[in-house]
Structure 1
């Protein structure tokens, strides 16, 4: 079995996944607090270091690249310094992109002020309105020309306006016109749940699943109830509910539910774990891997990133080593 999983990891290299959605620039100002401001009762942070990282859909693309896959990142940036910074990060990571430019909106940026390894505050710069008609036409002209080249599409929705009702209507029409449509995976935003009807795989965490189902999710039975409610609401083909330290619940329809236990040895930070899960899952499906094996591989990858501080990626070599060293936890039927 381990040998089979290691062979599966080798098959990920060079597989193609298109990622469409909300691009973000993660901005960190890192320093020390030594005094309180005389102007207001707030800490004064003396900044020692500044860094920028790709966030949102960009982090999904970085995860795919770390596993040896080839992603095409499709999103929108503003005509501003932040947009230039984001493009530069994509070039540095050697990502293939189609970044539309909208001069009327800022590049989405999250600035986190950190001191003594704690977040003091976060400042968001964003416009969460939908794309304008001209930009939407440009986007779909591009998708019509290139979507057929990708067996898997990930919709990375962070509620920043890229994934909208108009986008999904036109996207579904485009899928229906294709002879061989790609699999569509969605990392959901609760406010947009009803836009995801009929997708191949939805990957909410327990909080998102509970909010979408209208119930509190706290144990196995409530996970199952939430899953059934989401199937009824959205008519999706499959559902993967990530449960942090409790692993994952894979619903292949409403009657075939399997629990994949966590593979994490330690949990320091869950930042970006959802991006790692959907990136690994999408890449494995692009390689022709069956859904259960793809989810198990994604669970291994998530176990790697939660053992690190901050948004991280699992590389193919790390995944190979973890799988080779794994003693095995049984997947059980729920």
Structure 2
């Protein structure tokens, strides 16, 4: 693969629909135990907010030179304003439906000495009602023209429901040119993804969706084929951590892409990086195998950094130049 496939990513559009959240970090140190209860007292030295969930997917696309449009819901609160500011700063076109009956999803992580002490979630995971669904669908309809790829970023926070998906499929089917639909799945919502173009579960999610183990090559193939039978999807990419990726271009054609990551410091957001790179690459006209290899490079860069990192075009080109191209093997054809 040459660098032209990477440079081609810049300037292309991707529509992201999904669960937007704010990642809140309180970082400090522990020097004593609380006299009130047997818990550590964290002296906070740094506080940070980052885009999470579907917001991190959009952030990855922007970092790769793409043009992300994000459709999501938030509460009608100060955290929603914070989300909007971060989207503006990252170059993300945000179309948000603010709701006064639920909070903006916020995940607060308290970290001391590079270890997470506790996580506190502020969220509502109830499904949206009909009027709120319609508000989101109307925003999607306005943003669809010209989009070749749409990502559904499902974190199980209530946006993707059966009613929503039925209406979305109707909306997509009415398009002059139906965009490709890529899904980063949530196990509890698997049956909502029937007929999508590409599903990107990790090994655990694939195992849970297929009701089969995912360990050996034979097990991975069997689980992938079970997902095809369950969901009638066009393609499937199972991310396997240190074992790389298994790309099912169909239920009977499977390729293995080995990981090139030499050091793994933090897997936070790696799935977001994979689907973001895939979507942007497909939108640019690259084929599915090429796009999966680029996603593998991008994920390898991200896991080698601490925190919710992103890959850039330059970082991918640098890695491609410094390391041998991964040897893609055929598992089944």
Coarse TM-score class (shorter-chain normalised): over 0.9
Figure out how many residues of one structure are paired with residues of the other and give that number: 331
Q: Following TM superposition, by how much is the alpha carbon of 1:327 offset from its aligned partner in structure 2, in angstroms?
A: 1.2
Quote the residue 1:191 is aligned against: 188
Q: How does 1:302-313 map to 2 (within 5 A)?
A: 302-313=299-310
Query: What is the rounded CA distance, in whole Å, between the counterparts of 1:286 and 1:322 in structure 2?
Result: 22
Find the residue that maps to 2:150 and give its secondary structure. Answer: strand
Alignment of 1:217-256 (within 5 A): 217-256=214-253
Question: Any runs of at least 4 consecutive aligned residues in structure 1 with deviations exceeding 3 A, and if so which?
Answer: none
Q: Deviations over 1:209-264 (max 9, x none)?
A: 00000012112111111101000000000000000000000001111100001011
2: distance between equivalents of 1:94 and 1:277? 19
Deviation at 1:176, TM superposition (A): 1.5
Distance 2:183 2:219 in 1: 22
Q: How does 1:86-165 map to 2 (within 5 A)?
A: 86-165=83-162
- Extract unaligned runs of 5+ from structure 1: none
Preserved contact between residue 71 and residue 139 of structure 2 (Cα < 8 Å): no
Structure 1 Cα separation of the partners of residues 203 and 227 of structure 2? 12
2:268/2:308 contact within 8 Å kept: yes
RMSD: 0.9
Q: Which residue of 2 aligns with 1:21?
A: 18
CA distance in 1, matches of 2:41, 2:124: 29
For residues 1-334 of structure 1, the aligned pairs below 5 Å read 1=1, 4=2, 6-334=3-331
Confirm or deny: 8 A CA contact 2:198 2:237 kept in the other structure.
Answer: yes
CA distance in 2, matches of 1:248, 1:132: 37
CA–CA distance in structure 2, aligned partners of residues 283 and 79 of structure 1: 31
Q: Is the 8 A contact 2:71 2:140 kept in 1?
A: no
Q: Is the 8 A contact 1:151 1:286 kept in 2?
A: yes
Post-superposition shift, 1:198? 0.4
CA contact (8 A) 1:148 1:181 kept: no
> Once structures 1 and 2 are overlaid, which stretch shifts more, 265-274 or 52-61?
265-274
Structure 2 unmatched runs, 5+: none
Give SS of 1:250's match: strand
| TM value normalised by structure 1 | 0.98
**SS of equivalent residue, structure 2 residue 43:** strand
After TM superposition, give the deviation of residue 131 of structure 1 in Å: 1.6
